[in-house]
């Protein structure tokens, strides 16, 4: 258990939501694993009044979580389009070319860096999961299989590999050594370089009851205030910020070495807004748990009603979000029949805790369940479009977050 704040070291952490003890969200099981006891870990969300960082108390060793990983970004069309857009934008805005370097921390399978590489911009991926790093290398993306930190950044900088642009999408939340990784950004950046970092926005998580964003890989849940304090401590200024709808609400920040560029008006404005809604006060998070309990009651009641009527119910998405929702809500095989997922590396495995078999998405047309619980609700638009044939045959989707609805 972490008794101190991961950012500022403060010890006065206050409870926001306790999700009990759950299995690791991405620890999918093989058939042989089903008879063995699963490890579970506490999942307790707390708030640091000293720097406003929201975080969980438990740190599962990253070697357990990430060394062999089953999330491949390229299976999501939405993620690939999102990556292409920012790569093209930064290539143009910053005049990137053959003498530039774009690095990505937690570069996954090259879903983002491929767009720079196709434009002739040299790239370097830094990815700790060996199985995913191999896939990126096979796609022609040079990839260093390491956990990023200040030591790795220092080695690269000493070799002359300093970056014009560093990307880090949905990775800072996964980091136990926040200060070391953020200082690593500073070390790896060229003097006029920019780090472009995306993470779920804690305000959207709280407002929209996105409790399923909470799992053991996500150690931290950021406001701009918490990020600004963290980055300034490590010699970086957040010079611009954007709010994006992806993943249920995301912050994209642009950070540079202190003094390299003036802090923009969007940063000043959002910091002021956060002060207004009480980012530094536990009261701003107080109603979160009650809203989650209401959601639990409504979803479980709906599923029980449908099952009592003899309806079949499948699940779309063997996702980390889904694992948190199913395990905390206590929903398993008594209400759900099977899971489908587009990722071929997940098919044939079983969901953590609930032990539901994962099948290809084609099973929806073959088995025609009456309803599908959409656990990857953050990609709802993409998935509903992909499943137009199933829906055309009368199939319905249940979207559980931010409010239970049937489409």
pLDDT at residue 189 greater than cutoff 90 = yes
* Residue 245 pLDDT > 70: yes
Residue with tokens 């694992």, as numbered in its chain: 323
What integer pLDDT is reported at residue 69 of this predicted model?
Answer: 57
Q: Name the band, by pLDDT with cuts 50, 70 and 90, for residue 1.
A: low
Q: Which residues contact 36 (CB under 8 A, 6 or more apart)?
A: none
Please give the pLDDT value at position 62: 77
Residues forming a β-bridge with 56: 45
The tokens of 41 are what?
Answer: 């870990």
Query: 194-243 pLDDT, tens per residue?
Result: 999 999 999 999 999 999 999 999 999 999 999 999 999 999 999 999 99
Please determine, for residue 72, whether its predicted confidence score (pLDDT) is greater than 70. Answer: no
Q: What value does the mean pLDDT take over residues 356-373? A: 97
Could you tell me which residues come within 8 angstroms of residue 208 by beta carbon, excluding any fewer than 6 positions away? Answer: 248, 249, 401, 402
Q: 122-154 b/e with 16+ CB inside 10 Å = b?
A: bbbbbbbbeebbebbbebebebbbebbbbebbe
> How does DSSP assign 9-28, residue by residue?
-----EEEEEEEEE--TT-P
Domains present along the chain, CATH in parentheses:
65-207+216-262 (3.40.50.150), 288-406 (3.40.50.720)
pLDDT at 67 over 60: no
Check residue 165 and give its pLDDT.
Answer: 98
Retrieve residue 56's tokens: 């969980």
Residue written as tokens 């709906």?
302
pLDDT value at residue 79 = 77
**What does the pLDDT read at residue 247?**
79
Helix (H) or strand (E) holding 206: helix 202-207
Mean pLDDT (whole number) for 292-312: 97
Q: Which residue from 367, 364, 352 is spatially nearest to 397, judged by alpha carbons?
A: 364
Q: In what order do the strands lie in the sheet with 14-22?
A: 14-22, 41-47, 54-56, 220-221
Distance CA 348, CA 340 (A): 10
Q: How confident is the prediction for the chain on average, in pLDDT? A: 94
pLDDT bracket for residue 141 (50, 70, 90): very high
* Angle CA 44–340–404, to nearest 5: 55
Cα separation of 352 and 330, whole Å? 12
Report the predicted TM-score, pTM, of the whole model to 2 decimal places.
Answer: 0.91
Helix (H) or strand (E) holding 396: strand 396-399
Q: Please give the pLDDT value at position 66.
A: 65
> Which pLDDT score, from 0 to 100, does residue 75 have?
60
- 355: confidence class by pLDDT, cuts 50, 70, 90: very high
Residue 376 preceded by cis peptide, ω within 30: no
- 34's tokens: 């089903």
Tell me: pLDDT of 74 over 70. Answer: no
DSSP-assigned states of every residue in 268-313? HHHHHHHHHHTTTSGGGGTTHHHHHHHHHHHHHHHHHHHHHTT--E
Which pLDDT score, from 0 to 100, does residue 71 have?
A: 56
Q: Which of 2-6, 44-48, 133-137, 402-406 has the lowest mean pLDDT?
A: 2-6
Residues 6 or more apart whose CB falls under 8 angstroms from that of 312 comprise 337, 367, 368, 369, 370, 371
* Residue 178 predicted with pLDDT over 90: yes
Q: What is the pLDDT of residue 169?
A: 94
**Which pLDDT does position 246 carry in this prediction?**
83
Q: Does the pLDDT of residue 300 top 70, yes or no?
A: yes
d(CA 143, CA 42): 33
Q: Which of 67, 45, 42, 47 is nearest to 56 (CA)?
A: 45
pLDDT of residue 65: 76
pLDDT of residue 180: 97
pLDDT single digits (tens) 370-397: 999 999 998 899 999 999 999 999 999 9
Of 85, 112, 91, 94, the closest CA to residue 256 belongs to 94
């Amino acid at each position: 258990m972490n008794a101190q704040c991961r950012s500022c070291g403060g010890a006065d952490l206050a409870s926001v939501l306790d999700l009990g003890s759950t299995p690791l969200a991405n620890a999918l099981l093989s058939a042989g694993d089903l008879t063995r006891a699963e490890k579970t870990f506490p999942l307790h969300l707390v708030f640091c009044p000293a720097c406003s960082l929201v975080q969980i108390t438990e740190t599962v060793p990253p070697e357990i979580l990430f060394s062999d990983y089953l999330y491949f970004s390229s299976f999501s069309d939405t993620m690939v389009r999102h990556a292409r857009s920012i790569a093209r934008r930064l290539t143009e805005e910053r005049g990137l070319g053959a003498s530039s370097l774009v690095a990505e921390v937690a570069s996954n399978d090259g879903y983002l860096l491929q767009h720079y590489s196709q434009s002739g911009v040299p790239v370097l991926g830094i990815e700790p999961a060996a199985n995913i790093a191999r896939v990126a290398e096979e796609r022609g993306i040079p990839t260093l299989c390491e956990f990023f930190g200040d030591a790795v950044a220092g080695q690269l900088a000493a070799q002359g590999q300093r970056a014009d642009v560093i990307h880090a999408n949905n990775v800072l939340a996964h980091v136990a050594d926040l200060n070391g990784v953020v200082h690593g950004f500073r070390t790896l950046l060229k003097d006029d370089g920019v780090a472009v970092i995306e993470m779920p926005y804690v305000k959207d998580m709280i407002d929209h009851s996105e409790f399923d964003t909470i799992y053991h890989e996500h150690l931290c849940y950021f406001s701009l205030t918490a990020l600004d304090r963290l980055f300034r401590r490590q010699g970086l200024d957040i010079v611009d910020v954007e709010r994006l709808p992806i993943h249920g609400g995301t912050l994209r920040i642009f950070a540079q070495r202190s003094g390299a560029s003036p802090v923009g008006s969007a940063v000043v404005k959002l910091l002021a807004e956060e002060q207004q809604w009480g980012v530094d006060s536990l009261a701003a998070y107080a109603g979160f748990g009650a809203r989650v309990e209401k959601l639990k009651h409504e979803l479980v009641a709906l599923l029980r009603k449908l099952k009592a009527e003899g309806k079949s119910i499948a699940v779309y998405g063997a996702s980390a979000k889904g694992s948190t929702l199913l395990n905390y809500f206590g929903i398993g095989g008594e209400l759900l029949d099977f899971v489908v997922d587009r990722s071929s590396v997940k098919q044939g495995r079983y969901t953590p805790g609930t032990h539901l078999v994962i099948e290809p998405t084609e099973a929806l047309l073959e088995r025609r369940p009456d309803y599908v619980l959409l656990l990857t609700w953050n990609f709802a638009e993409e998935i509903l479009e992909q499943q137009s044939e199933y829906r055309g045959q009368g199939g319905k989707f249940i979207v559980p977050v931010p409010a239970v609805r049937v489409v």
